[in-house]
Structure 1
Amino acid sequence: MPGKVHPDDLLDHVFARTGETDDSVRLGPATGEDAAAIDWPGGTLVVSSDPISLAASQVGTLGVHVGCNDVAASGADPRWLTTVLLLPESARSSDDSDDEGPGVLEQITHDLDTAARSVGATIVGGHSEYVDALERPVVSLTAMGATETVIPTGGASPGEKVILTKAAGIEGTAILAADFGAELDIENAVCERAETFLEEISVVPEARIVREYATAMHDPTEGGVIAASLELAKAADVDVELSREAIPVRPETAQLCEAAGVDPLRIFGSGALLATVPVDSVDACLEALADAGIEAAAIGTVSACDGDVPTLEVDSQRFTEPIEDDLYPLWAAADAEEVRSEGND
């Protein structure tokens, strides 16, 4: 099954195998943390790496924003990027062709450049090659930025409020429209609006505002708001309680999720920023976001851990273990149907 490695396996096989101890590492590999933080002469260097595999028309843009979001969610401004670009061998013909339209390499590098400029970052190096085993491009991007104050996922304290910028399921809504819209009982206009949500994936603008108030910030990705909130709770060893009614869900998201039978709080959530803020700073934080034209809402509360393990409670639902993103079963069902169709040909 695709998806993140289970936290127990990360603890056993990843976090415990990190080479030499280095006192300059302020924040290393840990459950839920978006990036590493390293002391250096200029303050603190924040570093994050992420792979992404999509169609050539999306992978460059989203690759930059996914990587830069993690740096921004840790309190830094993204400044430097390295990219490892792996292309399917089939793309070589399009890159060598004189036909009209961009080749795969041209499309991706154009989008990498445009997206990097949009967040004020510079691509400083990387690697590119063609790979026989690939069916679609893969971009692995490392983003770096500098800050004087690192804001970790695990910085939340009891009594603070949880806020969410924009809305739940922004990335997942665009995926639903693009991958399943034709099969769902949804108007074309709704799908067209939903696909434009990919243009809002960056959280760099709101992170620059929220970091002035937040004790913790986190970038919801796979598993959406629920997965990210549980990761925040575990990282800080606290309980988190959310009100489903308080969580912003756009009409397009609600319609597509209802048609697909999925929970808008459990689908890919890139494009929103999750944060914890002291009670006396909540209003100022929300007002600053509103002044910048960014929607946000207080959606829950942090409390002391009341049991053996940190817990997320969403109304009457309790979560203590990682969840699977609701889109994975849809993809699995679609793959199975494709195999059956091919078998019947």
Structure 2
Amino acid sequence: MPGKLPVELLQRAFFSNIGKGDRVILPPMVGGDAGVIDIEGYELLAAHSDPITASHSRIGWLSIHIAANDIAASGFKPSWFITTLILPEGTKEEAILSIATDMKKAITELGGSLLGGHTEFSSAVSRAVIITTALGAGKREDMTPTSNAKPGDFLIMTKKAALEATSIAAHDLSQLLLERGLTISEIVEAKRYIDEISVVPEARILSSNRLANAMHDPTEGGIAAAAFEISYASGWAVELWKEPVTISDISKKILETLGVDPLFSLSSGTLLASIPPHKLETALQALSSAGIEASVIGKVLEKRERKLYLIKGGNIEMVISEIPQDDFIKRLSELGATEK
């Protein structure tokens, strides 16, 4: 039947062992209307919401981390989370507990707190829909908005491109990939990429040491879309060099099998950062010391235009002046693996 979850299940799944930070004055509870936090000592509160629509697997864990990434990319520590979960009628208790367990695991990893949310069964959805709002507080000088990229800044990326797309493909299209020649061990390894989705560690390193002018979390549209969005927000053209963009061999193989361009595919797990030239070596060293791979992949140009120049072999391969669509999500839709 449509309606709210049973109180006992709600309490057991979402309100127990969720971690209550010192600043949470009013935690989530049955019958409560809102969570309350104390932000004394902070100047700013950042908030961001993200739905999970392209994946069927581990959506509770993804929902927390992907929302947290955007707060971290803004320069703040993601601390509080509000999640809305709409479930198809007839969803089994074990499926609900699995989502809740993944949420708790992600929140614990981040040292955060669940502040509240909403859950219900509804005939409006055919599979679970989850949307998380993440919040983080900080000072004005902590901010690293995309609009703050400056001409001359170098663009760096952490880890590898298309980690998210690769993992989703391995989880949701494993049979198709096996039929097209991938091995079980390759698919198992690709599934593990989901564990690399968080960019909070590298974002905190760069922001706490004041090493980045701007940061951005590439989600839909991948690294190309994220680089264009930095250009659009800042008003300065950006050059993206294709050769230094790092992509794992398994990502290449899986996405090539699907006919998908990794540069334009879901890339949560990668952080883009706009770094002043005099801080570049320090930034790369700080990331390396923490065991985080980073590559220089472009530059902010002194051209007052909202354009991304894709460069290959020293030549302009493509000029992008609109946010590009996600190649991987488009392919998933064609395969009928997702609703978008």
Q: 2:326 corresponds to which letter in structure 1?
A: D
List aligned pairs for 1:39-50, cutoff 5 A.
42-50=42-50
Cα separation, 1, equivalents of 2:331 and 2:308: 27
8 A contact 1:224–1:267 mirrored in 2 = yes
Cα separation, 1, equivalents of 2:163 and 2:54: 17
Cα separation, 2, equivalents of 1:55 and 1:247: 24
Task: Give the secondary structure class of the aligned counterpart of 2:237.
Answer: strand
Cα separation, 1, equivalents of 2:336 and 2:130: 23
Cα separation, 2, equivalents of 1:55 and 1:274: 23
Cα separation, 1, equivalents of 2:330 and 2:68: 28
8 A contact 2:79–2:134 mirrored in 1 = yes
1:136 counterpart residue number: 127
Task: Give a deviation string over 1:186-222, Cα, whole Å, max 9, x none.
Answer: 2222111111100111111110112220000000001
8 A contact 1:312–1:320 mirrored in 2 = no
Shift of 1:317: 1.6
1:312 counterpart residue number: 309
Query: Which stretch shows the higher mean deviation, 61-70 or 313-322?
Result: 313-322
Task: Give the secondary structure class of the aligned counterpart of 2:84.
Answer: strand
Cα separation, 2, equivalents of 1:266 and 1:311: 13
8 A contact 2:77–2:137 mirrored in 1 = yes
8 A contact 1:86–1:130 mirrored in 2 = yes
Task: Give the secondary structure class of the aligned counterpart of 1:123.
Answer: strand
8 A contact 2:155–2:273 mirrored in 1 = yes
1:248 counterpart residue number: 246
1:265 counterpart residue number: 263
Shift of 1:124: 1.3
Cα separation, 2, equivalents of 1:190 and 1:281: 38
Q: Provide TM-score, normalisation by structure 2.
A: 0.81
Q: 2:181 corresponds to which letter in structure 1?
A: D
Q: 2:117 corresponds to which letter in structure 1?
A: G
Cα separation, 2, equivalents of 1:74 and 1:64: 16
* Residues 225 and 209 of structure 1, relative CA distance in 2, 3 Å threshold: same
Aligned residue pair count: 288
Could you tell me which runs of 5 or more consecutive residues in structure 2 were left unpaired when the two chains were aligned: 1-38
Shift of 1:52: 1.6
Could you tell me which runs of 5 or more consecutive residues in structure 1 were left unpaired when the two chains were aligned: 1-38, 96-102, 337-345
1:167 to 138, 160, 169: 160
Cα separation, 2, equivalents of 1:150 and 1:188: 43
8 A contact 2:261–2:328 mirrored in 1 = no
In angstroms, what is the RMSD of aligned CA positions? Answer: 1.8
Shift of 1:54: 6.5
Task: Give the secondary structure class of the aligned counterpart of 2:257.
Answer: helix
8 A contact 1:157–1:302 mirrored in 2 = yes
Cα separation, 1, equivalents of 2:57 and 2:264: 26
1:177 counterpart residue number: 170
Cα separation, 2, equivalents of 1:54 and 1:176: 10
List aligned pairs for 1:17-56, cutoff 5 A.
42-53=42-53
Task: Give a deviation string over 1:59-117, Cα, whole Å, max 9, x none.
Answer: 110000011001000000011111111111120xx22xxxxxxx122111111111101
1:322 counterpart residue number: 323
Q: 2:98 corresponds to which letter in structure 1?
A: Q
Q: Provide TM-score, normalisation by structure 1.
A: 0.79
Q: 1:74 corresponds to which letter in structure 2?
A: S
8 A contact 1:44–1:150 mirrored in 2 = no
List aligned pairs for 1:192-341, cutoff 5 A.
192-211=188-207, 212-305=210-303, 309-315=306-312, 316-335=317-336
Cα separation, 2, equivalents of 1:306 and 1:70: 26
Cα separation, 1, equivalents of 2:124 and 2:111: 34
2:212 equivalent to 1:188? no
Shift of 1:303: 0.5
Task: Give the secondary structure class of the aligned counterpart of 1:209.
Answer: helix
Cα separation, 2, equivalents of 1:153 and 1:323: 17
8 A contact 1:56–1:107 mirrored in 2 = no
Cα separation, 2, equivalents of 1:329 and 1:106: 31
Cα separation, 1, equivalents of 2:174 and 2:95: 25
Q: 2:143 corresponds to which letter in structure 1?
A: V
1:125 to 104, 108, 116: 116
* Residues 182 and 75 of structure 1, relative CA distance in 2, 3 Å threshold: same
